[in-house]
Amino acid sequence: MIRSNDGSNPSSSAKICVPVCVTDLSVLRTVEPADFIELRLDYLEREPENLAEVLHKISGPVILTFRPSEQGGHRQLTREARLNFWNNVAPRGERIWWDIEGDLAHELSPDWSRVIISHHDFNSVPDDLHDIYQRLAATPAHVVKIAFQAHDIIDCIPAFELLFRARRDGHEIIPIAMGNAGIATRVLGPSQGAFLTYGSLDDENATAPGQVTARHLRELYRVSEIDKDTVVCGLIGLPVMHSVSPQIHNGWFASERLNGVYLPFEVRDVHSFVRRMVRPRTRELNWNLRGLSVTAPHKQAVMEHLDWIDPKAIEIGAVNTITVDADRLLGYNTDAPGFTDPLFKKFESLEGRRAAVIGAGGAARAAIWALRQQKAEVTIFTRNVPKAQPLAESFSVNCEPLASATFGDYDLVVNTTPLGSGAFIDQSPVTAEQLYGVRIAYDLIYNPADTRFLREARKAECDAIGGLEMLVAQAKIQFELWTGRKVD
């Protein structure tokens, strides 16, 4: 049972630091309230002359950072320039913190009670990560900060291991896995004991890869309400950052007053992810993981790792939903009912309707299965007919080449390909000329909401359905599987 956020759930001590990056401090008028403000002084075009005046504008604690480019700074800084800044320019005070790099630790004499000693690796997880931690922790600095680039969700594990070690050693720490694959460390870190987390003013002002906005940390992920009992759910796939599923599920967690959070998980190696982060008996992360949405390219690959799969998902041949039930991993497919839900608003019945499905991936499997269940006549259209033939045979439907297709005598045309999103945002699998005469054109892509396929459909005077309706319909079923709550 998921505990409600009814006031009995104590908030974590999550602190958010908002970095401020301007090239001229004189243009800085007001700063958004935050637990900490970080002034990235390495962004300045010249040495700061009015730093004291700027600090008066900020009411809370301020972190001063003067980072060289090799450690992620905005410009090249010599060692001499950095030492001169910290020894002769940087102000001190009760609410002023310094973030200094580890290579300067033995050449400075700051108030160590307000120092963050840091190390950044923008390539990968360092092989000597724990040696780096040990060197930094041996300094008198109050907080150790280690940030490294994550290329897969499993790269978050070393960051959480650092949190565990620092708690055991009695040290404050800020471990960050940078990049889209590391967002879990930014959202869940404070609840695991991280000293603070960083949130940008907006998407354009992020100071590190994968940095979430402060507003999203507070309002979307509700980071201050996350604790050790918080149920964690998420979306696994590659890519995932375009998804609006976090907005949908976190909105429901908030409206239902449930202690849960939903995150995007960028997963390349799904086999290692299941073993090291999901399966209760083997996972290396101490978290209350309850459920996962699964998107491309993992809908079929995850099936071999599940302890039980719903018979409907077996027939479809793809899983898009996983529930962690005690020690067992259960698999479902909510795409199929989510797919038909918008269609029943257009057709009283799909029986006998002629449907063309473009594509032959996991989404196509769910669409074909759902249409066949409703006794529609289905034909697959694809650029590579031989590759799609096994899928067609498994559902006893025909497969035709897409390039020469015309759909004038079809009731429904469904795009299940990625054309229209991401790197293919300006593309459509078909043209308006091919769609003339079609009653309904249905695009399973939901971001962007208005795809090239839908624009071509409107040119052909088709009734158009976007993918957001399906996304919400299938997400409602997922949320009920994970929480037992039906949502509007």
Which residues belong to the active site? 299
Q: Give the position of tokens 């001229």.
A: 24
**C-beta atoms surrounding 196 within 10 Å:** 23
Nearest Cα to Cα of residue 142 among 195, 93, 84, 180: 195
Q: What is the DSSP letter of 333?
A: -
How many angstroms separate the Cα of 433 from the Cα of each of 288, 407, 408, 450, 459? 51, 9, 9, 19, 9
Please state at what angle helix 335-343 crosses helix 467-483, rounded to 10 degrees. 130
CA 168 to chain centre: 29
Q: Which of 370, 415, 411, 364 is nearest to 390 (CA)?
A: 364
> Do strands 328-332 and 321-325 pair parallel, antiparallel, or not at all (unpaired)?
antiparallel
Phi first, then psi, for residue 27 (nearest 5°) are -85, -5
What distance in Å separates the CA atoms of residue 29 and residue 128, rounded to the nearest whole number?
A: 42
Amino acid at 142: H
Do residues 324 and 289 touch, judged by C-beta distance below 8 A? yes
- Amino acid of residue 230: T
Please state the three-class secondary structure of 231-300 as a single string.
EEEEEEECCCCCCCHHHHHHHHHHHCCECEEEEEEECCCHHHHHHHHHCCCCCCCCCEEEEEEECCCCCC
Point out which residues pair with 260 in neighbouring strands: 231
